[in-house]
Amino acid sequence: MEAFDRQIVQLLGNDGRLSFTDLGRLTGMSTSAVHQRVRRLEERGVIKGYRAVLDYEAADIPLTAMVSVTPVDPAAPDDVPDRLRHLEEIDSCFSVAGEESYVLKVRVASPGRLEELLARIRAAAAVTTHTTVVLSTPWEDRCVMRPELDQPPVGDN
């Protein structure tokens, strides 16, 4: 990916509401050039969409936990993500290497709700769980783009 594209992705990743005019000002490109690049990034699937960033405290779901899951029967089909997709408290599902098969990021209103969710996870997917409760979140959901060290932005392509 070119340096300008990386810069655009980084800027939109941090603020998806930036206008093409603002993106042009921040990158030194014309508005039309930025618009074309964003459209190509969307067509290529680099930019998959735009979303609201929530304040989970204000949304009354302040408790975040990471739940590691391991199938009770290692020979069972690997369909844990499909079995858990309907549980809306699960924010993310990560396939991981190690003793566990998946790590789930969950958000709930209280410890009691977490306990209920864990029971539903175990029942729905036939897994054991290991849970880590998040105490605070200094930062989250950063848009991390490794810059190309040998290609600084030049010109208005």
**CATH classification at residue 109:** 3.30.70.920
pLDDT tens for 11-59 read 999 899 999 999 999 999 999 999 999 999 999 999 999 988 899 999 9
Instruction: Give CA–CA dist 49/132, Å, rounded.
Output: 30
Please indicate, yes or no, whether residues 37 and 80 belong to a single structural domain of this protein: no
For the record, the structure tokens of 145 come out as 């783009």
Residue 32 falls inside a structural domain:
yes
Does the pLDDT at position 91 exceed 90? yes
Tell me, what's the pLDDT at 51? Answer: 87
Residue 140 falls inside a structural domain:
no
Please indicate, yes or no, whether residues 38 and 63 belong to a single structural domain of this protein: no
Range of the domain at 10: 3-44
Q: What is the CATH number of the domain that holds 13?
A: 1.10.10.10
| pLDDT tier, 144 (very low <50, low <70, confident <90, very high otherwise) | confident
pTM over 0.85: no
Look at the chain and report how many structural domains it folds into.
Answer: 2
pLDDT averaged over every residue in the chain: 91
Does the pLDDT at position 154 exceed 50? no
Of 86 and 2, more confident: 86
Residue 146 falls inside a structural domain:
no
